[in-house]
Amino acid sequence: MAQAIRQIKKEVPNQQEEQAQASAEIMKELTENKEAVMASIQLMKGLHEMGIYDALRGMLDNRTEVGAIAIQQMNQPMMHNVIKNGMNGVKFLGSLPSGETEKLIGGIGLGLKKMSEAGQKEESQSLWKMRKKLGSPEMKASIAAMAAFMEGMGTAFAQSPHKEQDRKG
């Protein structure tokens, strides 16, 4: 009959074996991800040449002073407005339907392009030429959109709490 196992020997690798295994794993990952590693090295080289690492090292060495300056700047009344306006801007963008935003930004871009082209032509604009342009479907659509925008903005201004405070004050 077989004898019962009474002792279990657990083999613990020594430090040299652990280092050799870790080195092998690292080399395996490096060779499998060669393109990513090379791109990372190029990026780090560029940042180093620009002096970014020196600036970051200086900031880390003086982190207490840098943190104190940052907190002082954040406590300025103007910064409170910047933060509030940023949050309101994000809320505003979040409230707009993406299709409408895309359409609006496209229209603004095209309008700026047309404005730039008109400035480069250096044509003199007579009142008669401008009056003829007002009859075009594009101009009518733009004027109607601006009128609707102004109506909506006026409605918001009329309901503004500032108007009620002005009456009380």
**Confidence (pLDDT) at 103:** 85
CA 95, 99, 103: angle at the middle one, nearest 5? 110
Which of 37, 61, 85 is the last residue before a domain boundary? 61
Domain that holds residue 32: 17-61
Distance of CA 59 to CAs 50, 64, 68, 79, Å? Answer: 16, 9, 12, 22
Q: Has residue 52 been placed in a domain?
A: yes
The yes-or-no verdict on residue 166 having pLDDT over 60 is no
pLDDT tens-digit readout, 51-60: 998 998 998 8
Residues 25 and 39 in one domain: yes
Of 61, 85, 115, which residue sits at a domain end?
A: 61
The tokens describing 167, both together, are 């009456």
**pLDDT category of residue 151 using cuts at 50, 70 and 90:** very high
- Whether 81 is in a domain gets the answer no
**CA–CA distance, 73 with 80 (Å, rounded to integer):** 10
Whether residue 1 is contained in a domain is answered as no
Greatest alpha-carbon pair distance for the chain in Å reads 116
Number of domains in the chain: 3
Write out 132-157 in H/E/C secondary structure. HHHCCHHHHHHHHHHHHHHHHHHHHH
In angstroms, rounded to a whole number, what is the distance separating the alpha carbons of residues 148 and 142?
A: 10
Specify whether 26 is located in the same domain as 51: yes
Residues 13-67 pLDDT 10s: 788 888 999 999 999 999 999 999 999 999 999 999 999 989 989 988 998 998 8
pTM score of the predicted model: 0.41
- Under DSSP, the state recorded for 4 is P
Query: 150 in a domain, yes or no?
Result: yes
Nearest to 33 by CA among 41, 44, 23, 45: 41
